[in-house]
Amino acid sequence: MLLAFTSLKAQFSRIIIDDQAKLVNEVSQNYLLQKLASKGVVLNDYLDYEKRCQYLFISISQKENGYEITSRDCQKNQLKDAFLDSDIKLASDESIGNAIGNIVLGMMNQEGQPQVTPKGKMNPYTNHHDSRYFFAPTAYNLKKGQLYYNTLYFAAHEVQYGVTDNLSLGLGTTVGFFPAYVSPKFSKKIGPIAALMVGDLFVFGTYASNFVLNLAYGGITLGNTNNITLAGGILNSNSFSRTIAVGNVSAMASLSKYIYFVTENYVTQLQYNVDGFRYINGGYQYLSVEAYRNIIGGFSGVRVISKRKDVQSVQFGFVYFIPLSQQSAFNNPTGNIPFSTEPRFDNSLVIPGISYTLKFGKVF
């Protein structure tokens, strides 16, 4: 028996539990910890990727008439499964902790080697980067306690934290700490492959600057590994003369297990004023030029996920800013000259885009 537990500890010395059903509370977790510790097994909150194959990964999910507990190894192979009747929820915290502890220990054989069930079932691949595109969010939220770090060009840095399973809070700034922004997001699943979100992006100047910009938005994401997000928002700033509507269409598609096509696209209309002399009707007149420019901008490229550490990824492709058309109205004391609309593709900007992301917390 001693030899068996020594071998078990060498193979699976640590446990990670993804309790999606919220079956284990703080009290029952203490009993679970004691049960595992009596066999030399440690329950960890965070995963050490350098030693990930020393972990047994446990998932607890709620089913129609109870709770399913499954185990898998570091290669995402499902090993064993067990089922607890829904009445377990009525048991004491001690009973719940001990019951789950006994199941977990039973999922390790005496030699401490993985036992693949005859069906050889593979767990679905987990996309740890489904909450973001390049910069735009999806309607899928981080889980409570998870932290997502994103840097653009290694010059702008952002963190998103899962306050709850439905609410996340983002903070970001640049290497020069100008400007900075706060971005809360609330999201809710409305079906197996659909979720809604509402959020806000509040950007403010630093170093006594009075620059302020705010984007309130909402949207829907459809899909799982491959998904599309349709969103829209209202943009305000103390440097704008009016409120601006912004539309967004983003999508990601799996090209392989570790490579995704990612695109996010924004459509809006910018307004600006230019004062100066214009040659009109055979003479120069001083006019106030009010112009509106329809633009599309965004990012398209690929996301490459690390095979060794699938919570980190690099996105690279192209960032683009393309004026689609320009409308102008010339206002002068003698009357207004009607709007003129003309295609304007000058001043288009296309540059390489790169970002790096890393996810922390209870990730599997």
Q: Which of 252, 248, 193 is nearest to 227 (CA)?
A: 252
pLDDT at 267 over 80: yes
Q: Which residues contact 118 (CB under 8 A, 6 or more apart)?
A: none
Class for the domain spanning 2-106: alpha beta
Higher-confidence residue of 239 and 12: namely 239
Say how far apart CA 322 and CA 208 lie, in whole Å. 32
Q: Which of 145, 185, 52, 43 is nearest to 359 (CA)?
A: 145
Task: Write out pLDDT tens, residues 222-256.
Answer: 998 899 999 999 999 887 778 899 999 999 999 98
Say how far apart CA 351 and CA 360 lie, in whole Å. 30
Higher-confidence residue of 214 and 338: namely 214
Q: Considering the entire predicted model, what is its pTM?
A: 0.67
Residue 277: pLDDT band by 50, 70, 90 thresholds?
Answer: low
Residue 118: pLDDT band by 50, 70, 90 thresholds?
Answer: very low
- Give the pLDDT of residue 148: 94
Say how far apart CA 351 and CA 334 lie, in whole Å. 44
Higher-confidence residue of 286 and 200: namely 200
pLDDT at 120 over 50: no
Torsion 222-228-234-239 (CA) sign: positive
Average pLDDT value over all residues in the chain: 82
Q: Which residues contact 185 (CB under 8 A, 6 or more apart)?
A: 137, 141, 167, 168, 169, 170, 197, 198, 199
Residue in this structure with the two tokens 């696209």, named with its chain if needed? 265
Say how far apart CA 115 and CA 76 lie, in whole Å. 13
Q: Which residues contact 7 (CB under 8 A, 6 or more apart)?
A: 110, 111, 112
Task: Write out pLDDT tens, residues 17-51.
Answer: 888 888 999 899 999 999 888 888 888 887 776 67
Say how far apart CA 266 and CA 247 lie, in whole Å. 6
Domain chopping of the chain, boundaries: 2-106, 147-360
- Give the pLDDT of residue 307: 83
Say how far apart CA 295 and CA 266 lie, in whole Å. 8
Q: Which of 213, 218, 217, 323 is nearest to 267 (CA)?
A: 323
Say how far apart CA 204 and CA 101 lie, in whole Å. 50
The CATH number assigned to the domain with range 147-360 reads: 2.40.160
Stretch 300-311: mean pLDDT: 90
Residue in this structure with the two tokens 């915290």, named with its chain if needed? 93
CB 103 within 8 A of CB 88: no
Higher-confidence residue of 293 and 351: namely 351
CB 11 within 8 A of CB 54: yes
Mean pLDDT lowest for which of 9-18, 48-57, 265-274? 9-18
CB 212 within 8 A of CB 237: yes
Residue 125: pLDDT band by 50, 70, 90 thresholds?
Answer: low
The number of beta carbons lying within 10 Å of the beta carbon of residue 51 is 11
